[in-house]
Amino acid sequence: MMNLNKQFWEDKYANKQLKWDIGHISTPLKAYIDQLSNKEQKILVPGAGNGYEVRYLHEQGFSNVFVIDIAQQPLKNIIHENPNFPKKSLTTNGLF
Protein backbone atom coordinates (compact mmCIF):
# COMPACT_ATOMS: atom_id res chain seq x y z
CA MET A 1 0.00 0.00 0.00
CA MET A 2 1.35 3.42 -0.97
CA ASN A 3 1.79 5.98 1.81
CA LEU A 4 0.73 9.35 0.30
CA ASN A 5 2.33 11.39 3.07
CA LYS A 6 4.30 14.63 2.98
CA GLN A 7 7.58 12.88 2.09
CA PHE A 8 5.97 11.06 -0.82
CA TRP A 9 4.88 14.37 -2.36
CA GLU A 10 8.16 16.16 -1.57
CA ASP A 11 9.98 13.35 -3.40
CA LYS A 12 7.67 13.69 -6.42
CA TYR A 13 8.59 17.38 -6.74
CA ALA A 14 12.29 16.86 -6.02
CA ASN A 15 12.52 14.14 -8.69
CA LYS A 16 10.28 16.04 -11.14
CA GLN A 17 7.85 13.13 -11.30
CA LEU A 18 4.88 15.35 -12.08
CA LYS A 19 3.07 13.40 -14.79
CA TRP A 20 -0.19 15.23 -14.00
CA ASP A 21 1.36 18.68 -14.58
CA ILE A 22 0.23 20.05 -17.96
CA GLY A 23 2.36 23.19 -17.59
CA HIS A 24 -0.52 25.70 -17.61
CA ILE A 25 -3.99 26.28 -16.25
CA SER A 26 -6.45 23.71 -17.58
CA THR A 27 -9.09 24.90 -20.02
CA PRO A 28 -12.06 23.94 -17.77
CA LEU A 29 -10.60 25.79 -14.75
CA LYS A 30 -9.81 28.86 -16.84
CA ALA A 31 -13.35 28.88 -18.28
CA TYR A 32 -14.81 28.59 -14.77
CA ILE A 33 -12.63 31.38 -13.39
CA ASP A 34 -13.45 33.61 -16.35
CA GLN A 35 -17.15 33.53 -15.50
CA LEU A 36 -16.59 34.64 -11.88
CA SER A 37 -17.35 38.32 -11.32
CA ASN A 38 -16.77 38.78 -7.58
CA LYS A 39 -13.01 39.30 -7.27
CA GLU A 40 -13.38 39.50 -3.47
CA GLN A 41 -14.81 36.03 -2.94
CA LYS A 42 -12.70 33.57 -0.99
CA ILE A 43 -11.17 30.78 -3.06
CA LEU A 44 -9.30 27.81 -1.62
CA VAL A 45 -6.97 25.84 -3.88
CA PRO A 46 -6.16 22.56 -2.10
CA GLY A 47 -3.25 20.53 -3.42
CA ALA A 48 -2.24 23.32 -5.78
CA GLY A 49 0.71 21.62 -7.40
CA ASN A 50 2.64 24.24 -9.35
CA GLY A 51 -0.29 26.60 -8.97
CA TYR A 52 -1.13 27.61 -12.52
CA GLU A 53 -4.70 28.37 -11.44
CA VAL A 54 -3.35 30.34 -8.46
CA ARG A 55 -1.26 32.46 -10.79
CA TYR A 56 -4.20 33.00 -13.13
CA LEU A 57 -6.52 33.99 -10.29
CA HIS A 58 -3.92 36.44 -8.98
CA GLU A 59 -3.37 37.94 -12.44
CA GLN A 60 -7.13 38.37 -12.85
CA GLY A 61 -7.31 40.42 -9.64
CA PHE A 62 -8.76 37.91 -7.19
CA SER A 63 -7.62 39.07 -3.77
CA ASN A 64 -8.73 36.27 -1.45
CA VAL A 65 -7.01 33.21 -2.89
CA PHE A 66 -5.70 30.69 -0.38
CA VAL A 67 -3.52 27.68 -1.10
CA ILE A 68 -2.89 24.60 0.99
CA ASP A 69 -0.63 21.70 0.12
CA ILE A 70 0.86 18.84 2.09
CA ALA A 71 4.30 19.48 0.59
CA GLN A 72 6.41 22.63 0.86
CA GLN A 73 7.96 22.55 -2.62
CA PRO A 74 4.76 23.37 -4.52
CA LEU A 75 4.28 26.46 -2.38
CA LYS A 76 7.88 27.50 -2.94
CA ASN A 77 7.30 27.07 -6.67
CA ILE A 78 4.21 29.30 -6.51
CA ILE A 79 6.17 32.07 -4.78
CA HIS A 80 9.07 31.70 -7.21
CA GLU A 81 6.74 32.09 -10.20
CA ASN A 82 4.51 34.70 -8.51
CA PRO A 83 6.68 36.86 -6.24
CA ASN A 84 3.78 39.27 -5.57
CA PHE A 85 1.44 36.55 -4.33
CA PRO A 86 0.83 37.08 -0.59
CA LYS A 87 2.81 34.47 1.35
CA LYS A 88 0.28 34.63 4.18
CA SER A 89 -2.19 32.93 1.80
CA LEU A 90 -0.03 29.80 1.51
CA THR A 91 -0.22 27.04 4.10
CA THR A 92 1.54 23.78 4.82
CA ASN A 93 2.70 22.74 8.25
CA GLY A 94 3.47 26.35 9.15
CA LEU A 95 5.93 26.92 6.30
CA PHE A 96 4.84 30.49 5.64
Q: Is pLDDT above 90 for 36? A: yes
Domain that holds residue 33: 27-91
Q: With 0.85 as the threshold, say if the pTM is over it.
A: no
Note whether residue 17 is domain-resident: no
Q: How many structural domains compose the chain?
A: 1
Q: Pick from 4, 3, 89, 1: which is nearest to 48 by CA?
A: 89
Per-residue pLDDT tens over the stretch 50-70: 889 999 999 999 999 999 988
Query: Up-side HSE of residue 66: CA atoms within 13 Å toward CB?
Result: 10
Note whether residue 51 is domain-resident: yes
Note whether residue 77 is domain-resident: yes
Question: What is the CATH classification number for the domain harbouring 66?
Answer: 3.40.50.150
Note whether residue 71 is domain-resident: yes
Note whether residue 10 is domain-resident: no
